[in-house]
Structure 1
Amino acid sequence: MRGRWNGPPTGRAVRLAGALLAAGALLAPLGPGAAAARDGEGDEGPRPIDFAIVVDQSASLSQADLDREVEAAATIAQAEISERSRATVIGFGSAEREGQTAARQVCEPTVLDAAGRQHVGTCAQELARPDRDVIGPGTDFPAALNQALEQLGDGVPETTPRVIFLLTDGRLDVSGSVNYGPPDERQANGREALRDALADAREQRVQVWPLAFGTDIDHDALRAMAAGGYVEGCADLPDATPRARLVDDAEDLLDALQRTFAAARCARYEAGSSGTPPVDLTVTIPPIATDGSITVSKRDADVVVTYYDPDGVRVPLQGAEDGSTFEVSGRDRPVEALRVTDPKPGTWRVHLEPGDGGPAGEASVGAVWQGRLLTSVVVDPPSPRPGQAVTVETRLQTRDGVVIDDPGVLAELSGSARLAVEGSEPTTVALRDDGGGADARAGDLVFSGSLAVPDGASGDFTVTSTLAAPGVVGDARPFHGVLVEGAPSVVAGVTVLDDRVNPGGSVSGTVAVTNDDDRPHSLRLAVRGREAAEGLRVRPESVRVEPGAGTTVPFTVEVGEEVPLGRVGGSVAVLDEDDGGRVLHEVHLDVTVTAPPSWWDRHAWAVAAGSAAALLCAASTVLAAHLRRRRRDPTGLVIELHHGGRKDTQAVRGVRDGVFRFVVEHPPAGPPTLAVARAGAAGGYALWRGAGGSVRLRPAGGRKRTLRLGERCPLDHDAELVVRDAGPPRRATVPSGAPGRRHDINDF
């Protein structure tokens, strides 16, 4: 009878028993670096995760399969990009006779600093030689999951994501496990126990990512396993939702597990090349990456690895150099990794030399990376009335405060904004960049949405916006404000001139203020939403407005010498210091920091004036050519390719000799796309600026054409090309009730 079977200990039961041992357990170390998981919570760096690698050791696996599982488990532990993350490694089979256990922890929960990654790389090797006196030959998924659930979350912050990666070659098999009741009921009881374990995972907010290889796989059961645990991912992205991944054999396991691991922690995996040492392998890291690990599967621990950055410079194995920091682990293990903070973008070269142990097997290289970006949020109006709609504008910037303005870098970006008001249910809206709804302009990478304040609401409110893309994580930066009743007594509007400035320069703006209160107000101007705000300063910092008065005050934003080149992130806000620091108005900065002029740009006139006649002629020729190239320089233009209702864009940058060269690629499937022409490549198009605001376009081997900005130019394959300027800056408007008219910041 089914009622005779009480089942193996479930996660809930084990937790109750474990509570009796809690005091002693808290005194036990969690493994190398365990304190870092608690003490480092507020440090900078990628968000840590707490994960378990659960590895099938059943009798159906060959020794080669076990070796590949061990290699994969060691690799993702080495590849983890946060030194505050924690990993546990568990092997499982079944318990079919006295002395056997269905699941066994081979690596205790270990914080993955350098010492911790080295430790996991060593202890995971125990998985390759299962002791059949300890681990039975079956496949007991419930026992494996319960063992992992007991370890995850213990001693780490409540907000830390928890993930189980389950590696298996088959399906549930507890037919020989006496703990599951009579033989004819064991499989059914095992399925019931698996449902209970998944319910525990869901309750504890633990994701389950199954990864299966081979031919005897219960696909439906594995998919149900992924869906049965906690399904909310690290971001609101399809790739971040747990799912089962199936591969043909163990040889594909390493690549599949690294992709699964990257998806689960909102990172990306980039596969590199493979070969037999001695060999140079390569892997590419994109410009958006802020943290990454280059993993090398050597197969032979004696293989010696050397790393070279995209400039061909050999990088250190530990320490900092040229703006990046490095930390290697696994040098004496079959898998090693180089963790890099702020890696140089481009193609990295990894050189492998065989060791003293003789010929080495085939090795491979890959990279797990993540782009951690900051959000800059503007809410208008910043102090709304009940029932009023507020517009949320969000854009992404680097940790140095430079705005991300390349659409290709942020492909598949999505986001949302959430409005929380005291006493009301929160509301959420998707943020968009298609020029519809509250979004002012399509494709400018400012994501916008509109939210309505509930009628009758009062008190404080918070708007939290998030942006994310595969491999890209934006911080969830809140905007805190206060609801007002009726028209505010003090209103203000900020405008900032769209401009280009060198480090050490400044840009101008104005703040228009009306004070209908019966007392004076002191207002403060500040740069907000920028980590590197110390490089920007507003002068004057304060404005005093007398009662019943209205005034317009000019100000400047000074750009420090240390501010990096590119579009400046953050915003300029005016706050009422006599009203609790309430934000009156705020606008995004739209300023581009450019390199200072060269020596020739600054002294060409002196060279020309002081030269002899012959030299004057030559210098004039050089100068004219230089100025001609600058007039032709198409930097700042955007090329659009239209085909079948779809549009691809390419921003013009990195121009040499005043001409931008690009190609139109026609993939076998899908619409044509734009790409920058490689150096020395034949074919393609050349683009430069012409006279009177026009542009000149020359196809390879064709005749030059003069185009107006915005004019459609027919191409082959029913495609059309349009060239536009970067466009007018977004409007920085004076809110309703403030003095002055609506201004576009191009008006100045």
Structure 2
Amino acid sequence: MRLSVLASTAVVALLVPLPAGVAQQSEQEPVITPANIVVLVDESSSISPDDMQREREAAAVIALGEFAPGSTVTVAGFGSNNGQPGQKAVNEVCSPSKVATAQDQQRLSDCVKQLHSRTAAEGDGTDHAAALQQALNHLSGRKDGAKLVFLLTDGKLNVEDSPGYAPDNVGDQRNKIAAGIIDTLLVKAREEQVQIWPLGFGDVDGTRLEQFAKNAYQGKCGARSPTPSASIVNSSADVEQVLLKAFGAARCAGIGDVQRTTVGSGGSQTAEVVIPVIATDGSIVVTKHDSRISVSYVDPNGTTVPKNGTQGESTFQVSGENGSVEALRIVNPVPGRWKVQISSTPDVPEQDVSTVVMYQGAVRSTMIVNPPSPRAGQEVTVALSLQTRTRSITDPAALKELSFTAEAAGTGFTTPISLNDEARDGDDKSQDGVYTGKVVVPAEATGSVKFSGTIAGVGISGDTRTVEAPLVAGPPALTAASTFGNSDRTVAPGGSMKGSVTVTNNSGRARKARIIATDPAPGTLVSIPGEQTVLSLPPSGTSTFDFDLRFADDTVRGPNAVTLKVVDDEKPDDVIYEWRLTANVEQPPSPLIWFAIGGAVVAAAALAGLALRRRRRDVRGLVVHLYEGHRPRGDLAAPEQPSSAFRFTLTEAAPGVPLLTHSTGGDDTYVLRRVGGRLRLITPYGEDTRCHVGDLVDVTPALAIKVLDEHAPLGLTDEQDPLTTPSPRDSGLL
């Protein structure tokens, strides 16, 4: 019997055909967009030794700070070819390299050390034309991700001793020819969508640097983001700030405040940096200046994290420990304040160490269009919201620098839609992370309207969603509307929020609609009681139905998000109305005062009870047996790690041969839990079934499963098994 419709990241009813418009919203985990980066470093004699060291460390920060595993980084030093044997205008010290592994990044850390000031015998001029040509050789053609050139130079072209441009240099013709070639290369860069971000070191030609930036491709991260521009490094104290500002703008990366810490000889200091909640991938970059300085990293929970490997949901990868710049790349970092512990040895002089966080959020947007099938001349509401691969994002501080934009387009028109999160113009709750706006479909519109929504900005990978909404003629048979109101949407784990939906039946006959919970944000576990999901409608008029949106005990703490839909029960593909709901799940505060007498006993009993309840809920020992008719088709045991849920999928080993496998988090997942004295099975279709150990449960018209418990003591019935026997506190939705 269908008891509830449940939505979770592992249980989404994708086996039921989805309506047009919603099916375009991918359920794949969002990823960081890679970049193609070339770092060009001026090695000419016009760069002083101190500036050369700054350039070398800047190149290392760019190379090691890159956080997308699919990115490619190339580092080249350049001077000039003055016609002497063995001279090359450009020397690639780091050939194009992925940054997927610690070994990849370590190779970059090592090869960057080869950058050096050139001697006259090596060709110590400044050939920007040859350097740009080398960069374009790597970046031309189709590439996955942005194409970026970081040009570290003083901007002063000098090829007066390079016979490759002209036999002699009468009238400074070599520099003039090279300058013309640079102009041509900048046109090509614009055509190939290659951005150039110059960083000026030494006695710079600011005008020429700005020409490099503005005459190449003018890409940017979003409406509020800068286009390429030149930056000048005036002193060693400016290097990190100037470089990181440029890198952040170019890479659409969030950059934290640079923390400068003076570490004395043989001393230790702690720097603190903040990783924001929107970050899913990032690097903590420490410019040590001396490889003998060691660094360790402590997360907001007070735990020293490994430099390589995993801890909790996070993955770590260090590089550059043996260099002047060290970086710890983190995937799915714990958000909050991190401590970076910096230690020197007695043989190291005092150093000014800088520490910074560079990050990006891999995001997926959700776009809702109401009504899903509008009429020409009708007002339509569009809503856009954001989630990362780990959580829903609703914090106004995390969203304030991002741009939420939308438009409606059809034959002969394109109309921008202004979005807000201020409880106006269709937005039903302020600062809930759902940006909403309204637009009227032109009266002369025909066919369909394409609604597009984009979230972009520095600090996220960006995402665009499109919904193709077919235009209909005449009033629809069913219409609906719903809201939870502009009120505090805070709920305790295991608690409920009350909502209502109003449905109007224009068909002239009794109908049924259904309310569905779908497309939850990562970690969100919500359900609607099954008896509340079916909405029985009289032949005409408007009916209002109340329902409870229940949040599971183990739903993620903090922001939760889910899409609620009202569909025609006769044609579930026909979405009548949908809306995105966010709520904040918080554990209610515990009592402040315990009774002194008997407190220890009560605490011990509570711990024992908690341990027993956890043991009762632990799915270890459960084995799912698959049957086709009465014929066994294999079995699958729950993993031997403590867990309150056994997730598995039903697929095919070959055509017509069913197979049980452990779920990897897809939308075809079955979830099995212990609940009280019974088992609870939630299917990918949203069906919620209670059964006992040993019961045969149909999962398809041809297949059934039976769950046995290998951990049950021999000779005990299911009712006697302490793992499944209910306690007074084990009832209800988990």
- Do Structure 1 and Structure 2 share a fold, with TM-score over 0.5? yes
Whether the 8 Å contact between 2:44 and 2:78 is mirrored in structure 1 is: yes
Structure with the higher fraction of residues in helix conformation: 1
Q: Residue 513 and residue 451 in structure 1: after superposition, are their counterparts in 2 closer, same or farther (change >3 A)?
A: closer
Partner residue of 2:134? 147
Whether the 8 Å contact between 1:94 and 1:177 is mirrored in structure 2 is: yes
Separation in 1, partners of 2:66, 2:320 = 13
The match for 1:330 among 303, 320, 323 is: 320
Cα distance, 1:548 vs structure 2: 5.4
Q: Amino acid of the residue matched to residue 557 of structure 1?
A: L
Cα distance, 1:165 vs structure 2: 0.8
The match for 1:60 among 31, 38, 46 is: 46
Q: Amino acid of the residue matched to residue 314 of structure 2?
A: S
Moved more, 576-585 or 587-596: 576-585
CA RMSD of aligned residues (A): 3.3
The match for 1:592 among 584, 587, 591 is: 584
Whether the 8 Å contact between 1:300 and 1:360 is mirrored in structure 2 is: no
Q: Residue 523 and residue 434 in structure 1: after superposition, are their counterparts in 2 closer, same or farther (change >3 A)?
A: closer
Are residues 1:267 and 2:253 paired?
yes
* Identity between Structure 1 and Structure 2 (%): 34
Are residues 1:218 and 2:205 paired?
yes
Question: Which runs of no fewer than 5 residues in structure 2 stay unpaired?
Answer: 1-27, 599-734
Are residues 1:462 and 2:447 paired?
no
The equivalences for 1:30-49 within 5 A come to 44-49=30-35
Partner residue of 1:166? 151
Separation in 1, partners of 2:29, 2:390 = 17
Partner residue of 1:189? 177
Whether the 8 Å contact between 2:387 and 2:521 is mirrored in structure 1 is: no
Q: Amino acid of the residue matched to residue 495 of structure 2?
A: G
The equivalences for 1:588-667 within 5 A come to 588-596=580-588, 598=590
1:431 aligned counterpart, secondary structure: coil
Partner residue of 1:431? 419
1:476 aligned counterpart, secondary structure: strand
Are residues 1:485 and 2:473 paired?
yes
The equivalences for 1:184-583 within 5 A come to 184=171, 185-215=173-203, 217-239=204-226, 241-249=227-235, 252-270=238-256, 271-277=258-264, 278-290=267-279, 291-354=281-344, 358-359=348-349, 361-397=351-387, 399-405=389-395, 407-421=396-410, 423-424=411-412, 426-433=414-421, 446-472=434-460, 475-496=463-484, 499-517=489-507, 523-532=513-522, 535-540=525-530, 541-543=533-535, 551-576=543-568, 581-583=573-575
Q: Amino acid of the residue matched to residue 242 of structure 1?
A: P
1:50 aligned counterpart, secondary structure: strand
Deviations 1:574-624 (A, max 9, x none): 1346557233212332533221463679xx9xx79x99xxxxxxxxxxxxx
The equivalences for 1:17-28 within 5 A come to none
Separation in 2, partners of 1:485, 1:581 = 19
Moved more, 47-56 or 95-104: 95-104
2:229 aligned counterpart, secondary structure: coil
Q: Residue 495 and residue 202 in structure 1: after superposition, are their counterparts in 2 closer, same or farther (change >3 A)?
A: same
Deviations 1:322-370 (A, max 9, x none): 5433221122222111112343444433223335965464432222123
Q: Residue 56 and residue 228 in structure 1: after superposition, are their counterparts in 2 closer, same or farther (change >3 A)?
A: same
Count matched residues. 559
Separation in 2, partners of 1:197, 1:538 = 61
Deviations 1:51-91 (A, max 9, x none): 11111111211222222211111112111122222111111
Moved more, 570-579 or 198-207: 570-579
Separation in 1, partners of 2:67, 2:231 = 22
Higher relative contact order, chain-length normalized (CA < 8 Å, sep 6+): 2
Separation in 2, partners of 1:354, 1:242 = 38
Q: Amino acid of the residue matched to residue 288 of structure 1?
A: V
Deviations 1:238-260 (A, max 9, x none): 33x21111121455323321221
Moved more, 340-349 or 362-371: 340-349
Whether the 8 Å contact between 2:141 and 2:192 is mirrored in structure 1 is: no
Cα distance, 1:230 vs structure 2: 1.5
Q: Amino acid of the residue matched to residue 235 of structure 1?
A: G
Separation in 2, partners of 1:521, 1:101 = 80
Q: Amino acid of the residue matched to residue 565 of structure 2?
A: A
Question: Which runs of no fewer than 5 residues in structure 1 stay unpaired?
Answer: 1-41, 612-748
Separation in 2, partners of 1:204, 1:321 = 41
Whether the 8 Å contact between 2:376 and 2:446 is mirrored in structure 1 is: yes
TM-score (normalizing by structure 2): 0.69
Separation in 2, partners of 1:479, 1:401 = 23
Whether the 8 Å contact between 1:572 and 1:588 is mirrored in structure 2 is: yes
Deviations 1:496-539 (A, max 9, x none): 47654322233333333334347876644333453337612233
